[in-house]
Amino acid sequence: MAESNRDLTLVTTLFILLQLCRIVSCSTSTLITKNLTIRDGDSLISEGEIFELGFFSPKNSTLRKIFNGD
């Protein structure tokens, strides 16, 4: 019985640690730094999800345009 409780505690602890790692790896930043690179298909979304900054290509064009919209 004691071994079963120990196993359950270990599994529960590992589950919580994995969930915390998942939360941290999925977190976002609301700051722009000089080391931040925005690639094609990426966008920056404001903290309140009001504005989005990203890139797009007009139809029949190879040029990239910047988009800032809500």
Cα distances (Å, whole numbers) of residue 34 to 3, 17, 31, 52: 53, 32, 10, 19
With beta carbons less than 8 A apart as the criterion, state whether 47 and 30 touch. Answer: yes
Q: What is the pLDDT of residue 63?
A: 74
Check whether 70 has a pLDDT greater than 60: no
| Structure-token match 């290509």, residue found | 57
With beta carbons less than 8 A apart as the criterion, state whether 56 and 67 touch. Answer: yes
Q: What is the pLDDT of residue 15?
A: 79
Task: Write the pLDDT tens digit of every residue in 14-69.
Answer: 878 777 666 555 555 566 777 777 777 777 777 777 887 777 777 787 777 766 66
DSSP strands (E only) in the chain: 43-45, 52-56, 65-69
Q: What is the pLDDT of residue 46?
A: 78
What average pLDDT does the segment 6-16 reach? Answer: 81
